[in-house]
Amino acid sequence: MADTLPFPDQLCNWLISISFPCNLVREPDFTLPVALIGDGDRVVMKIIPVEFEAWRKSDGTKLLHDITLKLASIRNAGILGVVLWEDYWLAKRSIVQSRLTSILGRSARIPARLTLARRIDNALTTQFLDDNHLNGPTTSKFRYGLFLPKRYYRVLPSNFAFDQLPEELLVAIATFSNARIFEQGAQPFRSHELIRFASLQGTNVVGALDKLLNAFIREKAPDDIMTYADHEWSDGRSYLRLNFEERGSMAPREVLVDLRNMARVSKTPELAEISSVDYLTVFNLGSTKYVKTIKPAPDEP
């Protein structure tokens, strides 16, 4: 019965079921509903649910602009803001719910200091990202995981469902590109990209990204590490806390949603003329580039 409701109502009903008051409101000069999530008497988060039916009926360029402005106003007011497209809710609901409960402070907390960091293989990385990252796996050169030893399983809540037989539990991973080498000051400068970071569903591994970055830095000695923060979910503050610096941004990009399975695919020239019955053109909201300098470039003081 619940799944017959519109997607924004499904979202609010789920939040209410985990004890977060949620109300869908219409705000002035904005065509989409906004989900207001409370904690006591205050609003702690606003989610903009982008329902496909509303997207189809709109001027996409204008609505994308309006969503961007609305998200900025939410964050500028000191409130957590997220934009959530309908395909993610339908196809990857458990991952979406895990991310939201983590942001809202309802996930199982695991101190990264209790974990062990080491390189992992491609098969394990692919499976973990498929299960725990909204954008799934992608090509990478270096892959690191954090493992919680069995002796520390006690930090997990008694109702946390997982296989307790193995001697360790993979709780977070980070993947990195091969080095891009630039000539600066007549010397090579090695830059790597942090491509993916994900934690096990239902958990918040406190300090995980910092520990994974440090493991990578110790082994590969990069001169800098760059990454991108997705505007729909992040305002970049987690990177700033880890001494990344903002270095520009990327504009929103068109993607295609296969309406038969809600999978996202890049919009290529080969797919430009495909049927609008099976595919819907949507956008991401763009991203901000962040760079963590490990060793100053040779021409820097």
Query: What average pLDDT does the segment 179-201 reach?
Result: 90
Per-residue model confidence as pLDDT tens digits over 228-259: 999 999 999 999 999 999 999 999 999 999 99
User: Do 140 and 156 sit in the same domain of this protein?
Assistant: yes
The enclosing H or E element of 290 equals strand 287-293
Residue 196 in any domain: the answer is yes
Distance of alpha carbon 21 from alpha carbon 8, whole angstroms:
14
Interval 196-232: pLDDT, tens = 999 999 999 999 999 999 999 999 999 999 999 999 9
Does a structural domain hold residue 69? yes
* 186 shares its domain with 98: no
Co-location of 161 and 96 in the same domain: no
User: Same structural domain for residues 203 and 223?
Assistant: yes
Question: Do 101 and 116 share a domain, yes or no?
Answer: no
The predicted-structure confidence for 155-165, as pLDDT tens digits, reads as follows: 999 999 999 99
pLDDT at residue 113 tops 50: yes
Whether residue 222 sits in one domain with residue 165: yes
What is the phi-psi region of residue 98: left when phi exceeds 0, alpha when psi lies from -120 to 50, beta otherwise? alpha
97 shares its domain with 153: no
Same domain, 59 and 141: no
* Both structure tokens of 195: 């491509």
269 or 32, greater pLDDT:
32
Q: What is the CATH number of the domain that holds 174?
A: 3.40.630.30
pLDDT on residue 84: 98
Report the distance separating Cα 155 and Cα 148, nearest Å. Answer: 10
Rg (CA), the chain: 21
**Torsion angle of C-alpha atoms 121, 215, 111, 203, degrees rounded to 10:** -40
**Which of 175, 21, 205 is CA-nearest to residue 98?**
205
Mean pLDDT score, 115-124:
98
- How distant, in Å, are the alpha carbons of 20, 192, 249 from that of 285? 26, 24, 11
Length of the chain: 301
Q: How many domains is the chain partitioned into structurally?
A: 2
Confidence of residue 1 (pLDDT cuts 50, 70, 90): very low
For residue 264, being part of any structural domain is answered with no
* pLDDT band with cut points at 50, 70 and 90 for residue 272: low
Identify whether residues 184 and 148 lie together within a single domain: yes
* β-pairing verdict for 203-206 and 108-111: parallel
Supply the range of the domain harboring residue 53.
2-106
- Greater model confidence, 196 or 2: 196
- In the chain the first and final C-alpha atoms are separated, in Å, by 64
Do 255 and 282 form a contact (C-beta atoms < 8 A)?
A: yes
Q: Are 113 and 79 in the same domain? A: no
139 and 191 share a domain? yes
At how many degrees (to 10) do helices 122-132 and 93-103 cross? 80
Question: What confidence tier does 288 reach under pLDDT thresholds 50, 70, 90?
Answer: very high
